[in-house]
Every structure is written in C-alpha cells, then in structure tokens.
Amino acid sequence: MNKKLLLVAFISMILSISFGAFLSEATETEKRNEQLYKYYTNIQIQKGDTLWDIANEYAVGDIISNKDYIAQLKEINSILHDDIKAGDYITIFYYSADEK
C-alpha cells in the first residue's frame, strides 16, 4: 500500500512540475508579445525581391509564420499572385518593442 501511495505522489509531483514549467513558458511568451507593437510602412521592391524574402526579414516567428505573413501582405496590398515587381511599393507590417 505504501509503495502505491508513494508512486502516486511521485507521479503527481512530476506532473505538477511539468505543468508549472509549461505555464511559466507560456507566460514568458505572452510577456514578450505584450511588449511588441505592430507598425505599417511602405517599402520599394528591389530587383530579385520575393514575398518570401520580405517575410523572412519582417515576420516574427513566435508571433506570425512566414506563410501567414505573406497571406496578410497579399491581402493588404491586393496582390493576387506571388509576383512582385522591382520599383513597385508595397505596404508591409513589422513588430517593434519601441512605442512610436
């Protein structure tokens, strides 16, 4: 009987520690996200630029994936295909901890 009780207590302790670590991790991510502000600006497309290149530069991985960033860029700029042309201007968004 004591062995079963000890085993249950041990498993409960492990689960509590694991769950506590998960909550702590989520809280840290939430704190980082709360400190970021979303801004918009226009950029000029340079020769060879792709939407993927722009996403790699401006998307913040733990906030938005490159795929979702590109989808939003296309929506904001009414881009139907992935083609962008050098010299064109598009509106992009980015995240910054600096409040402007």
Residue pLDDT, tens place only, 75-99: 999 999 988 999 999 999 999 888 8
Higher per-residue confidence, 19 vs 69: 69
Q: What mean pLDDT comes out for the span 68-79? A: 96
Query: Which residues of 5-97 form beta strands (DSSP E)?
Result: 37-44, 89-96
Shared-domain flag, residues 78 and 88: yes
Cβ count within 10 A of residue 72: 15
Shared-domain flag, residues 53 and 77: yes
Structural domains counted in the chain: 2
Shared-domain flag, residues 47 and 86: yes
Which DSSP state fits 45? P
Shared-domain flag, residues 73 and 31: no
Shared-domain flag, residues 18 and 29: yes
Shared-domain flag, residues 91 and 58: yes
What amino acid is encoded at 13 in this protein? M
Q: What is the pTM of this model?
A: 0.63
Is residue 62 predicted with pLDDT exceeding 60? Answer: yes
Shared-domain flag, residues 28 and 52: no
Shared-domain flag, residues 54 and 92: yes
State the pLDDT at residue 10.
62
Shared-domain flag, residues 19 and 58: no
Domain that holds residue 7: 1-35
